[in-house]
Amino acid sequence: MRIADYLEVAADRHPAAEALVYREVRLSYTEVKRQVNRIANALKSESSLSKHARITVYSGNDHRVSLIQWGANRADLISLGVHVRNSTATNIEVLSYLDCEVVFFNSAYESEVPRLKAGLPNVKLWVCIDRQSNHAVSLETWLAGHSEEFDCIPADPNDIALILPSGGTTGPSKGAVHTHRSVEMEIVNLTVSMGFQEGDRLLSVAPLSHAAGHIALALLAVGGANVILSEFDADAFLTKCSEERITHLFLPPTILYMLMLSPLARTLDLTSLRCILVGAAPVAPEKFRQAVHLFGPVIYEAYAQTETLIPVLIKSPTDYMQADGQIDEDVLRSSGKPPTFVRVGIMDDDGALLPAGVSGEIVVRGSMGMSGYYKLPDATAEAAKHGWHHTGDVGVMDARGFVTLIDRKKDMIISGGFNVYPNEIEAVLNTHPAVLECIVIGVPDEKWGEAVKGLVRLKPGAAVEDAELISLCRERLGPVKTPKTVEFWPDLPKSAVGKLMRREARKQFWEGHWRSI
């Protein structure tokens, strides 16, 4: 079934139950279904759109993000992931590459719309989701007159449901193509792994356009409620957890760490919490242990990729809590073990699966996997060598099936849960007239997991302040991809043939750490 079909089932079973909560808005399943149907009908009425048009929602967290995504799914259109914290230029490149035809945007980003329009001439429809706009029709006006009933025909499970940018080391981001089948299996895996039940309540502050939205789908399939926050403040977040009797959270490690610093984490009634799932980046073992002591044995950790959906590995309290109440340290250091419907192996460079205790590349099989990269058959074939999806991460599996991440074969940095590709940042740094050459790496950071650092060699006689280079990157790339720090080196490590060596540059920053990511 498609995503919207699960909403239909939930609305039939739990018509009066709360489905979405955002600020003063509280929508029941019946109300959500009606609004989703109106959006689907409005999209179907747009004669200029192709049969499986690609749509995106350019917005921070807002209940209308979910309504539009589900409406597009009901109308058999394809949702494109986009992150508003990227620079406008980056998002234009991504949406152009993915052949976007419809952009719904929040008025908070209205100032970007003229530039978006100029860079996306093939977009046929622009809609402002929250008010009247100078650049587009409002959602309320656009929906006027459209029916709350929708005649939904069965979907081909192999039709495309989502295309999610996964980044790329050069050129435009890769787009991981997911079908109704892969998304459906993700819903199943999440429901089982997180123990979702009717009436559970999820508090979402991570972007709904990414993993948080997928987790909300699994909850809604069983009749739970998604309580949405548009911005993060530790005290306000914990207060909302208590007031709304939240049962489930999904957090990147950075947010978990900030919650742990709030005095309210020790004084509020948070006994409703049954699952705090931490993902998007590895969790420091000591921080994980502290979180268990603070919140109780409700901390879960997940490992996944855009290409595989969630989760590929899961670590639950029943895995790391021993009968005597102590924590199993070996499990604690791991990222977990495969859930019920996923197979994970450790593979060498020749395609042979390796035994327990031997490190190699983490490879994955399962119905959650992407059908391929959009427009990139060679990259698709490379990622699927030997019949497995290749993650590019190095790990070791123990005899019990727990996998510990050791290193990354690729150069990608994961900072605060976001994928950052060094080549893109290096290209910007190299545009500065004072820069001779540079290397961008991820270095250990208590808050971000990995912090982006630029290592720069200046041209003879040239001078520039680190703040100027950081400002240059922020202007071109947005805050996520901007180096937190820049160091000036008299020389940078190179191979015998003169190739810059990121791995060598990283070594001194990761010495003494138990893993290199």
- Rounded to an integer, the average pLDDT of 103-109 is 97
Under CATH, what is the fold of the domain 1-7+27-155?
A: Rossmann fold (3.40.50)
- The contacts of residue 241 (CB under 8 Å, 6+ apart) are 203, 249, 268, 270, 272, 273
Q: What is the Cα–Cα distance from 138 to 248, expressed in whole angstroms? A: 33
Supply the pTM of this predicted model: 0.84
**Angle at alpha carbon of residue 240, lines to 237 and 245, rounded to 5°:** 130
Lowest mean pLDDT, pick from 91-100, 385-394, 419-428: 419-428
Strand pairing report for 435-445 and 449-458:
antiparallel
Q: What is the Cα–Cα distance from 300 to 315, expressed in whole angstroms? A: 5
Most confident range (mean pLDDT) of 78-82, 207-211, 498-502 is 78-82
Whether 207 has a pLDDT exceeding 60, the answer reads yes
Helix, strand, coil tally for the chain in percent (to 5): 35, 25, 40
Nearest to 451 by CA among 423, 431, 481: 481
Mean pLDDT of all residues belonging to the chain: 92
Whether 168 has a pLDDT exceeding 60, the answer reads no
DSSP for 172-193, please give it: SPEEEEEEHHHHHHHHHHHHHH
pLDDT for the residue 515: 61
pLDDT for the residue 210: 85
Report in angstroms the alpha-carbon separations of 40 from 152, 302, 378: 10, 33, 35
Q: What is the Cα–Cα distance from 389 to 381, expressed in whole angstroms? A: 10
Report in angstroms the alpha-carbon separations of 51 from 48, 154, 179, 182, 393: 10, 15, 16, 21, 37
**462, containing H or E segment:** none
The amino acid sitting at 205 is V
In angstroms and rounded to an integer, the radius of gyration of the C-alpha atoms of the chain is 23
Q: CATH top-level class for 413-510?
A: alpha beta
User: pLDDT category, 171, cuts 50, 70, 90?
Assistant: very low
Whether 325 has a pLDDT exceeding 60, the answer reads yes
Could you tell me the residue ranges of all domains in the chain?
1-7+27-155, 413-510
Q: Please give the share of the chain, as a percent, with pLDDT higher than 70.
A: 97
Do 191 and 218 meet the contact criterion of CB atoms below 8 Å apart? yes
Alpha-carbon torsion angle 403, 407, 412, 414, nearest 10: 60
Q: What is the Cα–Cα distance from 401 to 412, expressed in whole angstroms? A: 26
Whether 31 has a pLDDT exceeding 90, the answer reads yes
Instruction: Express each pLDDT in 37-60 by its tens digit.
Output: 999 999 999 999 999 999 999 999
The amino acid sitting at 235 is D
- Rounded to an integer, the average pLDDT of 187-211 is 94
The residues facing 309 across adjacent strands are 305
- Rounded to an integer, the average pLDDT of 353-369 is 95
pLDDT for the residue 169: 38
Cα–chain-centroid distance for residue 421? 15
Instruction: Express each pLDDT in 71-80 by its tens digit.
Output: 999 999 999 9
Helices (H), 45-87: 63-74
- Rounded to an integer, the average pLDDT of 285-295 is 90
**Angle at alpha carbon of residue 50, lines to 47 and 53, rounded to 5°:** 115
Lowest mean pLDDT, pick from 84-88, 96-100, 294-298, 319-323: 84-88
